[in-house]
């Protein structure tokens, strides 16, 4: 079940809804990239385009990261 999350980016609070599994992966991705959680969310927000809301864009970020890792596996 999605839960409402809030992160402060560019000086204002931004809210989105994510399931715990996606939230855990977003935190992992930020950690692996050496970014703060807010910096990763800001990056995804800036890159997402108008066809996706922020929640969807964050889920797609997780999917892209996991697909990339799977293709790198031996």
Write out the residue range of the structural domain in which residue 58 sits: 3-72
- Total domain count for the chain? 1
Residue-wise pLDDT tens digits, 11-34:
889 899 999 999 999 999 999 999
Residue-wise pLDDT tens digits, 23-64:
999 999 999 999 999 999 999 999 988 888 999 999 999 999
* 33: CATH: 1.10.3990.20
Secondary structure of the chain as H, E, C letters: CCEEEEEEECCEEEEEEECHHHHHHHHHHHHHCCCCHHHHHHHHHHHCCCCCCHHHHHHHHHHHHHHHHHHHCC
* Cα angle for residues 37, 24, 20 (degrees, 5° grid): 120
């Amino acid at each position: 079940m999605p839960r409402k999350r809030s992160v402060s980016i560019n000086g204002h609070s931004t809210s989105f809804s994510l399931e715990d599994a996606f939230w855990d992966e977003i935190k992992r991705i930020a950690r692996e990239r050496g970014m703060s959680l807010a910096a990763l969310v800001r990056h995804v927000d800036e890159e997402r385009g108008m066809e996706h809301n922020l929640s969807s864009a964050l889920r797609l970020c997780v999917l892209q990261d996991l697909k990339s890792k799977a293709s790198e596996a031996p």
